């Protein structure tokens, strides 16, 4: 669909991340199931709960701005999830797979950080201050998740993976 103005671009970007978050609610339980390190599994599970809340936040924005929700496939998220699935397929259970899943998950978080950062700029420009502050809550959760993943990788999982027999 052709977009005519910034408002429509904002809506389109919202539909995109709305679909992306929904794809994640399906992928995160599988990631948790495949994780060996209990802290990583727990991290995926707690981010699943956050992600469900993030979906509801977007629905709140739709309501707030009377936006008619449209389903739009987020191709980028689909690709990122496909890559995560391939990494799982190409590794055995253990620290190497955990390290691989952390890299895949951090790519997802960085995509989300970019998406929410842009959405906040658009909302601010359009004068949608309440939407901007709702989106900022999610952005902070994505940043915190990214930091936790780095801490897990650097706090032992990468080292354990390095010691895995060749």
Per CB under 5 A, residues contacting Fe ion are 21, 51, 54, 112, 142
Report the SS3 class of residue 83.
Answer: helix
Smaller CB separation from Fe ion, 90 or 133: 133
- The least distance separating Fe ion from the CB of residue 133, rounded to whole angstroms, comes to 17
CB-CB contact of 64 with 127 (8 Å): no
The DSSP 8-state label assigned to residue 139 in this structure reads: H
CA atoms of 158 and 161, how far apart (whole Å): 5
Smaller CB separation from Fe ion, 56 or 70: 56
For residue 133 the two structure tokens come to 């502050």
- The least distance separating Fe ion from the CB of residue 138, rounded to whole angstroms, comes to 6
Calculate helix-pair angle for 75-89, 95-126, nearest 10 degrees: 170
- The least distance separating Fe ion from the CB of residue 166, rounded to whole angstroms, comes to 33
CA atoms of 140 and 146, how far apart (whole Å): 10
Smaller CB separation from Fe ion, 16 or 112: 112
Smaller CB separation from Fe ion, 19 or 51: 51
- The least distance separating Fe ion from the CB of residue 56, rounded to whole angstroms, comes to 12
């Amino acid at each position: 669909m052709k977009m005519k103005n910034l408002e429509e671009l904002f809506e389109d970007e919202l539909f995109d991340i709305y679909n992306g978050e929904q794809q994640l609610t399906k992928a995160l339980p599988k990631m948790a199931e495949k994780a060996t390190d209990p802290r990583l599994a727990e991290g995926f599970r707690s981010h699943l709960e956050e992600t469900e809340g993030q979906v509801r936040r977007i629905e709140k924005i739709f309501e707030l701005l009377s936006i008619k929700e449209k389903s739009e496939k987020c191709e980028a998220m689909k690709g990122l999830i496909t890559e995560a699935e391939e990494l799982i397929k190409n590794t055995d259970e253990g620290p190497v797979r955990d390290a691989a899943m952390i890299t895949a998950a951090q790519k997802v978080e960085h995509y989300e950080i970019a998406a929410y950062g842009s959405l906040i700029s658009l909302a601010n420009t359009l004068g949608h201050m309440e939407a901007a502050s709702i989106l900022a809550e999610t952005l902070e959760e994505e940043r915190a998740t990214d930091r936790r993943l780095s801490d897990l990788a650097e706090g032992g999982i990468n080292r354990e993976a390095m010691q895995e027999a060749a």
